[in-house]
Structure 1
Amino acid sequence: MISRIARTLLLTQCGIALLFYLLLTRLTPLPAPLCFLACVLLVLLLRAMITVNSFALTWPYRGRSSNPSTLTWPAIGRLFAGEFAATMVCSSWGMPFKRFDQRVYEDSTALPVLLVHGYGCNSGYWHWMSRALQEAHITHYALDMEPVFGSIDGYAPLIHEALQRVIAETGQDKIVLLAHSMGGLAARAYLRDHGTEHVARVITLGSPHHGTAVANFGVGINCGEMNWLGRAEEGTSSEWLQALAATEDAQKLSCLVSIYSLHDNIITPQISAKLEGANNIALDGIGHVALALDPGVQHMVIEEIHKAQHDVLQATSKLLRKQRG
């Protein structure tokens, strides 16, 4: 569904650009190349305004005392440019055309990975992360979570089904869940229902573990479940998030790694992505969509995947020694 919506929006933008081009060529003396350039700039301007709007919406709700990190103006420019570029390529190329199901490597020395996308996305969002995983020869699978506007509780069975498939096809007893944004909450809902028996590590990128105020502007049951009620640190999580947190213990949280940006333009307050009991890694100057496309984040994720493999081997070795007495 998301791929069809993304293609429709892409065609709509092309249609607007074409109409503007025809108007310019008929109503102005500008040469055709300049008219074409003006049309391209118009589309880029409209798309840039969407990114500007995401930062504008989060500004009143940003964390203050919990986010002392400030950026220089050049860094702010890089933050915006990176997020704008990420939204452009994801919505115009990744999600419309680059959905995928699996990429398997027989010579992989790492645990297999299941990729879980966020709100309003599909597996195409992971196209650039997938390329990094391919270079590392890490087997990975992806799923599309629908209905798009359904409850996050409904995504847990989809993750369970996909996880069972990964285990059956790879012969591995444990895997790594890599989730972006809302996908991290769906992964936690999976752990609530099925535990950590087959999960060595859950890595979340920019997940609103305590909610995000931007969800109040969204559509769907899932937005209501991941909203943040109030401004900045004075607010509170939704009832759904509070109920989810009440089901978690130290074992579930200890396998979770939360990687997030202190300047996220969707998760606000940004400190919402910090989950007590998990391994939290805060970064500077990266936008929300850009997280999975950032080479530094990709390197960090691959390191965590290999650490998960090491931990599993260590635990297995310890169990064998204990059995031998």
Structure 2
Amino acid sequence: MSLLGPLGAAARPLARVIGRAAAAQAREVAMMAALAAMAPLGRVGDSVERAIDALLPIAGHISPSARPVLLVHGFAGTKSCWFALARALRERGITVDAINYSVLGNSVEQLADQLAARVDRLLAETGADKVHLIGHSLGGIVIAQAFADGRLDGQVDTVVTIATPFGGSPWANLCPLGATVRALRHGSPLLCRLAEAPVPDGVRWLAITGARDVIVPGRRSVPHHAEVQRVTVDDVGHVGMLLSPLVVAHIVDALPADERAVA
């Protein structure tokens, strides 16, 4: 009996795994290109809704009773990266806003101050009692820092973090410059402080992890809190999660039932 038969049979599962990983990374590159093409729209006006409308206007009634959602992008992102999620939320009658920020010249603590100020403004504009916060990558760290500073007490209902490097990112070790990048290294003082901070009372927290994420791999994207719910999405990478229909569905499901209903 030829050895090629058993060897070939054993190699087929490995080939399938390699093929799925390669396909996932190819989709990741394509999604990065798509988000890069939409990036200029993230600079349109002060509202993420203007950026969305510039691409695909959505007719619908915004429910005044629903708590608004504030989106916090990641490193080098803009609010246009939230196009898929923001559209899905607006279709359900939820007010959506997003914050734009630059990591240049800003520490994580300073970005957390900007986020807290934006939450105050959004609550004042909408008359809502609380907001939902959704952060991708560094955006989730900014949210956690704002909580640790006590700036969001009593103002937040639900938090969703996507591919957020609570356990650090190995890629942060490759960039020696910038206080914000250094803060994202495994074991950094900032990440250690956040690991010791409890989830605020009354806040529901969902952490979404991508099985093909090479920027924040494995459990690095899960906060060190037993109260946090974790969801892992297969065959999607760090950037791809922003456009993944499955990730969007998980986020919509994480919101209270009365706020998911179409107005």
Opposite residue 167 of structure 2, the aligned amino acid is H
Q: 1:95 to 1:252 in 2, by over 3 A?
A: farther
Matches within 5 A, 1:225-236: 225-228=183-186
> Does 1:297 find its partner at 2:247?
yes
Residues 252/145 of structure 1: CA separation in 2 closer, same or farther (3 Å cut): farther
Q: Give the CA deviation at 1:96.
A: 2.4
State the partner residue of 1:182: 138
TM-aligned CA distance change 1:115 to 1:192, over 3 Å: same
Contact 1:98 1:127 in 2 (8 A): no
Using the size of structure 1 for normalisation, the TM-score is 0.65
- State the match for 2:164 in structure 1: 207
Change (3 A) 1:179 1:250: closer
TM-score, normalised relative to structure 2: 0.79
Which residue of the other structure, out of 125, 128, 151, is the alignment partner of 2:81?
A: 125
- Give yes or no for the alignment of 1:80 onto 2:38: no
Alignment-mate amino acid for residue 183 of structure 1? G
Residue equivalent to 1:196: 153
Determine the C-alpha separation between the residues in 2 that align with 1:252 and 1:210: 23
Residue in structure 1 matched with residue 200 of structure 2 by the alignment: 251
Which residue of the partner structure matches residue 31 of structure 1?
none
Aligned pairs for 1:31-46 (under 5 A) are none
1:110–1:306 Cα contact (<8 Å) kept? no
Deviation at 1:150, TM superposition (A): 2.4
Instruction: Report if the CA contact (8 A) 1:150-1:220 is conserved.
Output: no
Q: Does 1:273 align with 2:231?
A: no
**Which is worse superposed, 130-139 or 199-208?**
130-139
Q: CA deviation at 1:309?
A: 5.1
Counterparts of 1:168-179 in structure 2, within 5 Å, are 168-179=124-135
CA RMSD of aligned residues (A): 2.4
Counterpart position of 1:6:
none
Matches for 1:84-163 after TM superposition, within 5 Å: 84-91=29-36, 93-99=37-43, 101-103=47-49, 105-107=61-63, 110-148=66-104, 150-163=106-119
Distance 1:221 1:299, change over 3 A: same
Q: Relative to 1, partners in 2 of residues 1:120 and 1:308: Cα closer, same or farther, differing over 3 Å?
A: farther
* Number of residue pairs aligned between Structure 1 and Structure 2: 230
Larger helix share, 1 or 2: 1
